[in-house]
Structure 1
């Protein structure tokens, strides 16, 4: 079995490495949708893409005007049922980000992407796209939304706002294994909140990827932030597979982690993080995490 040792390169926000216009924007053009789809899926066979968006960078009304038309009719209706503007804004941003990402890789308008959920609530492509090899996952928290997309690999993502937790010890006993609690308690007091969210985002990304979510036996699963390995004692040995993990703090207020099953004929070579500009429809690469083979 293998895990992937990752090496990161990144640039500050605002430093442009590349831009790509998306469907749903005037700058988007494609001469051959089929050719574009083939080339994009080929790229995803080697890389994992993470798309990021800071929704509070736009006035709420401007964000609504951009995002609302990109959603399905059902999502539009649901967005109007939120009582607080903050919740509505983040819902619109998250689902618009996901639809722009999937529409980009499926070579279709974002509104036409068909999705459904499994019995545990994990979303997947449906309808005419049900045979697509794309896997995806979505997460949002105060001030940030993020999605992950892969080719033929189950995946999960979690993003959390880093904040003080007065009941951290009690929460840790509920969601962490004994080894994870020992690791958390070994951290310096000044950085323990940050360490908590690093560990939690890794764990939630994993349980979202498996499809179990919070129904997973959390105390039987151990994530090691130092080695980026998982020990899932809830599974028999023959059912355990190789996983690719990565975590990052894209800004001082947020922790983000991804998990991706890493089995099959080829391994994932990199995790690529990109920020989406909703106004222009362009993506900007923020960070690339390259992987190399290492025995587990």
Structure 2
């Protein structure tokens, strides 16, 4: 895993930095440090989660976001201010660098994608989770994807479902609209033998945005998780994997 983020010039052209951290691997002192980075308002929101696991994941996600952004913008992690668009997607309040980012998480892993200028979205899912594939795809996915998935069985169907699911989530997040875009308004075409970059997004007639916008879409397995990235660009991307845990200072002895 790489330990140095890309430069701004690299990010503008063909790089997505993908940071990750596992909440379960952090000790009490590391969590205490992360808590010191977030605002009182954020701490209040975290406290509304009923389970301690959800509180921990939210804490690490928020603090990780601040630590990562400070690798690109020369201000303290505590000083970052955020805004949200009308669909809820967060961004930096003052962003003269045009830095773009997106996060996704579950209890085992948190990821954060970073790019410059072009919007980016990411999603991560645990592929061992039990899901009801037929009713989910029939109700929410496009007809094309439902037919494709129903033609598969067993592990092949499960793998294709999570690949499609993460791609769809990453895509709607990258558009800034979220699921209000309509998960059935677009669909993905890909070769099962090419698991990563040979992925094409296509549009149905009721897709509400610009169909001429080029997209780069990527899928892979990472730390036993299924994850996807989508970026509003036609340029083939290099994915730089980075360990966010390395940003947490080692306590002085």
**TM-score in same-fold range (> 0.5):** yes
Please give the TM-score of this superposition, normalised by the length of structure 2: 0.86
Cα distance between partner residues in 1 of 2:65 and 2:183: 27
Pick aligned residue for 1:202 from 162, 167, 170: 167
Residue 240, structure 1, aligned to residue 212, structure 2: yes
Cα distance between partner residues in 1 of 2:190 and 2:239: 17
Residue 249, structure 1, aligned to residue 221, structure 2: yes
Residue 50, structure 1, aligned to residue 18, structure 2: yes
SS in 1 for 2:216: strand
Residue 159, structure 1, aligned to residue 124, structure 2: yes
Shift of 1:236: 7.1
Query: For residues 126-146 of structure 1, what are the alpha-carbon distances to aligned partners after superposition, in whole Å with 9 as ceiling and x for unaligned?
Result: 1xx233311111111121111
Partner of 1:100: 67
Partner of 1:223: 188
Please give the TM-score of this superposition, normalised by the length of structure 1: 0.75
Partner of 1:109: 76
* Cα distance change, pair 137–236 in 1 and its aligned pair in 2 (3 A): closer
Partner of 2:55: 88
Q: CA RMSD in A?
A: 2.3
Kept in 1: contact 2:181–2:207 (CA 8 A):
no
Cα distance between partner residues in 2 of 1:178 and 1:275: 38
Cα distance between partner residues in 2 of 1:88 and 1:48: 28
Cα distance between partner residues in 2 of 1:281 and 1:203: 36
Aligned residues: 242
Cα distance between partner residues in 2 of 1:19 and 1:238: 37
Shift of 1:271: 1.8
Partner of 2:3: 19
Cα distance between partner residues in 1 of 2:51 and 2:95: 34
Relative contact order (C-alpha < 8 Å, sep 6+): which is higher? 1
Shift of 1:64: 2.1
Cα distance between partner residues in 2 of 1:115 and 1:159: 23
Query: For residues 100-123 of structure 1, what are the alpha-carbon distances to aligned partners after superposition, in whole Å with 9 as ceiling and x for unaligned?
Result: 111111121111111110100011
Shift of 1:63: 4.1
Partner of 1:134: 99
SS in 1 for 2:70: helix
Kept in 1: contact 2:163–2:227 (CA 8 A):
yes
Query: For residues 6-34 of structure 1, what are the alpha-carbon distances to aligned partners after superposition, in whole Å with 9 as ceiling and x for unaligned?
Result: xxxxxxxxxxx5434x9xxxxxxxxxxxx
Instruction: Give unmatched runs, 5+ long, in structure 2.
Output: 192-197
Pick aligned residue for 1:187 from 131, 135, 152: 152
SS in 1 for 2:244: strand
Partner of 2:195: none
Shift of 1:231: 0.8
Kept in 2: contact 1:120–1:212 (CA 8 A):
yes
Cα distance between partner residues in 2 of 1:55 and 1:163: 19
Instruction: Give unmatched runs, 5+ long, in structure 1.
Output: 1-16, 23-38, 283-296
Partner of 2:39: 72
SS in 2 for 1:230: strand
